[in-house]
Chain A
C-alpha cells in the first residue's frame, strides 16, 4: 500500500507515464497467464484502494487476451495490521470477496511494495477466509526496503528509493490521471 506522503511534499521525478503504466500492466497480465498455464482457477484480490483498481484492470486485460473473466475481490487489512496501536483510530472500509478462494490461485495485487508488512497482514487475512491452492503477488512498483521475507511474483517496475521519499501511484479512477511519481518532503534541500 502506498504510504501517505507527508503533508507538504513535492514531486521529485516521474517514474511512469500513462502509456508506460499501461504497458507494465499488459506485461504482467501476460506473465500471469504464462506462469499459470492459462486462466483456469485464477482469481484476483486487490488491496484497498488502488490495488483493487489495478486488479480490475488486470482482469480486463486477461479477458481481452484469453477470454476468461476472472473475479476480483477487495481486501481491507486494517484488522490484521501489526501497528494498530501506533496509528489513530482505525478506518475500516470492509473486505468484499464475493467468491470462494478455496483451491484457487489467488493473485494479490497492490500498488507499491515496500516493507512487506501490508502483504504479511494480507496473507493472514486471506488465509482466514479459506484455503487457496496458492497465493501470488503482483505489484506495480517495488521500491525495496523489505523488513520481512516477502518477494513479488510480478513487478511493474523496480524502483530504488530512499526511505524519506514516497512513491505515489495515481490512477484515473481516483486521481484523474495515470502516473507514478516519486515525492520528497518539501523541507529537504534540492539535489544539486
Chain B
C-alpha cells in the first residue's frame, strides 16, 4: 500500500496500513544514522520550512536534522523575532512563506487545528508537529517504532498512559494509533487531568497509578504541562509527585520486569519520573529521541518524494 496523502495532520484520520507504512519507512531509514556520511540525495532541491509558534528543542531539531540528512534545504522560522511578533496573522505569514515555494511546511502551534487550517490554504505538504492539545503524529510514530523494536509487534500489547491526559496531544495521537493497531490502552491520572469523555476513544480509565501499571507492556509517562495549567488542577507538585510520580520502588512492586518506560520529553525530573527511573534500565527515552529523526525522515520523504505531493 502506497502513501497518497498530501499532508500528515493527525493519527486519527490514518488507517492501520498507513500507520504501518510510516513506521516501516522510518525503520528502513534508521541505518543512515549509523553511517559515516550521514547524507542521502533523496530530497535534493526540496525546501522544508519549520514554522514553529511554540518552543521546541527535540521536535524542531529532529525535523531539521531529518531534512538535512535527506539533502533538503531546511529553513527555521520561529514566531519570536519574526513578523508574527509585529502582528502579522498566522494565515498571512503562511501565505507569505508559500510564495517562496516550499515543498513541505512543518508547523507547531499552540492552537488545536492550526495545521489543518494551513493544509486547506496551502498547496505544499503540511506536517503537524504539534497543535495545541490536539495531536502530535510524529511523536506517536516514533513511540510506535520504539515499541515495535523492543516488543516485536503491536497486536495485543497493553499500554498505560499516565499523567496529564487532558492537555496531551501526545496521548491523543498515541491513543488513536494504538487502538487501530490492536493495542489496549489505559489512561491514568488525577480526575482533573483526565478528559470527561475519554472512554469514547476506546480506552480504559484508572485513577490509581499502581493499578494502571500492573501487567502492562509499556508505561508512557507524560510531562506535567505547567504552561497549560490555569491553576487549581492539582493541589501541589509535591502531592502529584507522591501519587503519580513513577519510582523504582513502585515499578518493582507493581510492574512487569520487562516493562518499557517511555516519556515524550522534556522530563520534569522528580515530578512524573524519579531520576533513577528516567536513567534506569527500563527507560527507552533517549531511544525515542534517536528514532525521532528516522520517523521525520520517513514522513518527509513520503510527502516530498512523491508525485502525489508534487502535483497536489
Q: Which of B27, B301, B306 contacts A94 (CB 8 A)?
A: B27
- Indicate if B87 sits at the interface (CB-CB under 8 A): no
Determine the distance from Cα of A134 to Cα of B302 in the docked complex, in whole angstroms.
33
A130 near B27: Cβ-Cβ < 8 Å: no
Q: Which of B27, B35, B302 contacts A90 (CB 8 A)?
A: B302
* A94 CB to nearest B CB, Å: 3
B42 near A84: Cβ-Cβ < 8 Å: yes
- Indicate if B308 sits at the interface (CB-CB under 8 A): yes
B307 near A88: Cβ-Cβ < 8 Å: yes
- Indicate if B231 sits at the interface (CB-CB under 8 A): no
Q: Which of B29, B39, B310 contacts A92 (CB 8 A)?
A: B29
* Interface range, A side: 20 to 34
Q: Which residues of chain B are within 8 angstroms of A128 by Cβ–Cβ distance?
A: 35, 37, 39-40
Decide if the interface of chain A is mainly helix, strand, loop or mixed.
loop
* A125 CB to nearest B CB, Å: 8
Q: Which residues of chain B are within 8 angstroms of A76 by Cβ–Cβ distance?
A: 28
A89 near B40: Cβ-Cβ < 8 Å: no
How would residues 71 to 93 of chain A score, 1 for a CB under 8 Å from any chain B CB and 0 otherwise?
00000101110001111111111
Chain A, 110-155, CB within 8 A of any chain B CB: 124-125, 128-130
- Indicate if A96 sits at the interface (CB-CB under 8 A): yes
Chain B, 265-309, CB within 8 A of any chain A CB: 298, 301-302, 305-309
Determine the distance from Cα of A101 to Cα of B207 in the docked complex, in whole angstroms.
56
How would residues 87 to 108 of chain A score, 1 for a CB under 8 Å from any chain B CB and 0 otherwise?
1111111111000000000000
Determine the distance from Cα of A142 to Cα of B40 in the docked complex, in whole angstroms.
28
Q: Which residues of chain B are within 8 angstroms of A90 by Cβ–Cβ distance?
A: 42, 301-302, 305-306
Can you name the residue of chain B whose Cβ is closest to the Cβ of A76? B28
* B298 CB to nearest A CB, Å: 8
Chain A, 24-77, CB within 8 A of any chain B CB: 76
- Indicate if B152 sits at the interface (CB-CB under 8 A): no
Q: Which of A80, A86, A88, A96 contacts B31 (CB 8 A)?
A: A96
**Known A-B contacts A89-B2, A92-B28; A124 and B305 likewise in contact (beta carbons under 8 Å):** no
How would residues 17 to 28 of chain B score, 1 for a CB under 8 Å from any chain A CB and 0 otherwise?
000000001011
**Known A-B contacts A80-B42, A96-B31, A124-B41; A89 and B305 likewise in contact (beta carbons under 8 Å):** yes
- Indicate if B36 sits at the interface (CB-CB under 8 A): yes
Can you name the residue of chain A whose Cβ is closest to the Cβ of B302? A89
- Indicate if B61 sits at the interface (CB-CB under 8 A): no
Determine the distance from Cα of A84 to Cα of B300 in the docked complex, in whole angstroms.
13
B2 near A88: Cβ-Cβ < 8 Å: yes
B301 near A92: Cβ-Cβ < 8 Å: yes
Most buried by A among B4, B40, B70, B302: B40
* A159 CB to nearest B CB, Å: 31
* B120 CB to nearest A CB, Å: 21
Q: Which residues of chain A are within 8 angstroms of B36 by Cβ–Cβ distance?
A: 129-130
How would residues 158 to 184 of chain B score, 1 for a CB under 8 Å from any chain A CB and 0 otherwise?
000000000000000000000000000
Can you name the residue of chain A whose Cβ is closest to the Cβ of B25? A92
* B107 CB to nearest A CB, Å: 21
**Known A-B contacts A124-B41, A128-B40; A93 and B28 likewise in contact (beta carbons under 8 Å):** yes
Q: Which of B4, B25, B31, B307 contacts A85 (CB 8 A)?
A: B307
Most buried by B among A84, A86, A90: A84
Determine the distance from Cα of A88 to Cα of B312 in the docked complex, in whole angstroms.
12
Chain B, 27-56, CB within 8 A of any chain A CB: 27-31, 35-37, 39-42
Most buried by B among A79, A88, A128: A79
* A83 CB to nearest B CB, Å: 10
Can you name the residue of chain B whose Cβ is closest to the Cβ of A125? B40
B308 near A80: Cβ-Cβ < 8 Å: no
What 5 A-B pairs have minimum CB-CB distances, sorted nearest first? A94-B28, A89-B3, A89-B306, A79-B42, A79-B40
5 extra A-B contacts, CB within 8 A, seeds A90-B302, A94-B30, A129-B36: A79-B40, A79-B70, A92-B29, A125-B40, A128-B40
